[in-house]
Structure 1
Amino acid sequence: MKALLEVSGISVSFDGFRAINNLSFSIGPAELRAVIGPNGAGKTTFMDIVTGKTRPDEGRVLWGEKSVNLLRMNEAQIARAGIGRKFQRPTVFEDQSVTENLMMALKAARAPWKVLVWRPCPADHARVAALAAQVGLADSLTRKSGELSHGQKQWLEIGMLLAQEPRLLLVDEPAAGMTLAEREQTTALLVDLAKTRAVVVVEHDMDFVRRLNCRVTVLHEGSVLAEGSLDHVTADRQVIEVYLGR
């Protein structure tokens, strides 16, 4: 099966520091992948490159069935092409309700004049209700987002990304700051989402990664150090030396 995202020979340096060093790997169209590694391994820079925030010095990033070169696109074009990114710290409109947050995120025409005259139709309300149910917030539609727990805000932000109908979801440390129950619900959500799209989870928490039960890519000094099941990579001598042994 053809990869949905193919990163090939990517390198990038900042002030002489090589953050990504000839990085190559691919993600399938309906796959859950965990990316782990020590601080400075290049995990965030990898996401920055895929989403257009950082331009590499060399290499290719190919997207979709037609192998579109993402490096020729800006951040907005990449988002519209179907790549969504969730940062570690949730960013929701705290004075707005869950419904209003999701409604604002719905995929729709964004031309200025169209935004001014746009009004939600019954199908939009149904879509918002479905999104809220999907991320576990069906009972919180009327609540202000600022009243939600940390975990619930994370789910709302995932719901807002899902409203854009992404084919690839990049999720940065989703388990951080969550209760045990929230972590379990987040695990179930990410596993479910990966049945219909690609989901890449950058995470430090090994227990959370184990619960995901997916293929793991270990980065070190901007390159792939090991790849496979969590049991396989955690038994790797180099992984133990540079990451797990610290």
Structure 2
Amino acid sequence: MTALLEVRGISVSFDGFRAINNLSFEIGERELRAIIGPNGAGKTTFMDIVTGKTRPDDGQVLWGEQSRSLLRMNESQIARAGIGRKFQRPTVFEDQTVAENLTMALSAPRGPFSVLRWRPSSESDRRVVELAAEVGLADQLSRKSGELSHGQKQWLEIGMLLAQDPRLLLVDEPAAGMTLAEREQTTTLLRRLAEKHAVVVVEHDMEFVRRLECRVTVLHEGAVLAEGSLDHVTANPEVIEVYLGRG
């Protein structure tokens, strides 16, 4: 497996607390990966580092076939390089329709004058229809986003990320707050997206992770505690002790 994203020995501390501790692992091209672990394990900090929000004290974060350093890029450059992040709470423009949200998210020239001159075209309209269909919102294009269910808003935000043509999607707790039917549809969506993109899912819901049928990385105290199939990691005595045995 060729690594699309490689994290090498990264560490970062906040006010004396080591949130990430010599963390190393790889994400492959078109791979679906779940990251689990107790609160404070470093899951969010890992995503913050990859997307440029937080700078590590040590280590390297390498991207793509040329192993470019993400640590030399700012947040917008990292996004343009092909990394998209979806936070737990969906952030869509609720007064705009689904079609308008997707149109605004389309990858297009971002210079100040280019933005002012840009207008939707038949090509952009076609792409919006494709994106809506890809995330299960083909029949919701004219609906205001604020009227959507929680799960539908999550799918719309994923569609908005897809509009930027990412190679890697970081998805934070997608199952939270969803109905059973929405969770099942989200599982199907994420597995399908991994056929074309690398998808990293941070999740607490073990049943949701099991349905993803993917490789699992367990973080604890900012480092990899175990890695493998869900059955493999959940049989690990250390994982049971620090994570599964709680609550």
TM-score for the superposition, normalised by structure 2? 0.99
Q: Which whole-Å CA distance do the structure 2 matches of 1:124 and 1:89 have between them?
A: 27
| Corresponding residue of 1:104 | 104
The alpha carbon displacement at 1:117 in A equals 1.1
Question: 1:95 aligns to what?
Answer: 95
Deviation of 1:202 after TM superposition, in Å, equals: 0.1
- Number of residues paired by the alignment? 246
Aligned-residue offset at 1:2 = 2.0
Output the CA distance in 1 between the equivalents of 2:70 and 2:158. Answer: 23
Aligned Cα root-mean-square deviation (Å):
0.4
In the alignment, which residue of structure 2 is the partner of 1:215?
Answer: 215
Distance 2:242 2:117 in 1: 55
Residue pairs, 1:80-229, within 5 angstroms? 80-229=80-229
2:241 maps to what in 1? 241
Within 1, Cα distance between the matches of 2:98 and 2:204? 29
- Letter of the structure 2 residue corresponding to residue 225 of structure 1: L
Q: How far apart, in 1, do the equivalents of 2:30 and 2:132 lie?
A: 22
Q: Secondary structure at the match of 1:4?
A: strand
Q: CA deviation at 1:222?
A: 0.1
Any idea what SS the aligned residue of 2:25 has? Answer: strand
- The one-letter code of the counterpart of 1:206 is M
Report the alpha carbon displacement of residue 36 of structure 1 after superposing the two structures with TM. 0.0
The amino acid of 2:165's aligned partner reads E
Report what 1:73 is aligned to: 73
Counterpart of 1:237, as a letter, is P
Residue of structure 2 in register with 1:232 after alignment:
232
- Secondary structure in 1 matching 2:3: coil
Alpha-carbon distance between aligned partners in 2 of 1:28 and 1:105, rounded to the nearest angstrom: 26
Counterpart in the other structure of 1:4 = 4
Q: What is the identity, as a one-letter code, of the residue corresponding to 1:172?
A: D
Which residue of 2 is the match for residue 35 of structure 1?
Answer: 35
User: Which whole-Å CA distance do the structure 2 matches of 1:150 and 1:177 have between them?
Assistant: 7
Letter of the 2:79 partner, please give it: A
Indicate the SS of the match to 2:191: helix
Determine helix, strand or coil for the equivalent of 2:201.
strand
Per the TM alignment, residue 199 of structure 1 is displaced from its structure 2 partner at its CA by 0.1
1:112, 1:199 → 2: CA distance? 31
- Equivalent residue of 2:6, what SS? strand
Percent sequence identity over matched residues?
82
C-alpha separation in 2, matches of 1:221 and 1:231? 22
Alignment of 1:21-60 (within 5 A): 21-60=21-60
Residue aligned with 1:89, SS:
coil
SS at match of 2:30: coil
SS of 2:217's equivalent in the other structure is strand
Distance 1:60 1:117 in 2: 39
**Deviant stretches of 4+, over 3 Å:** none
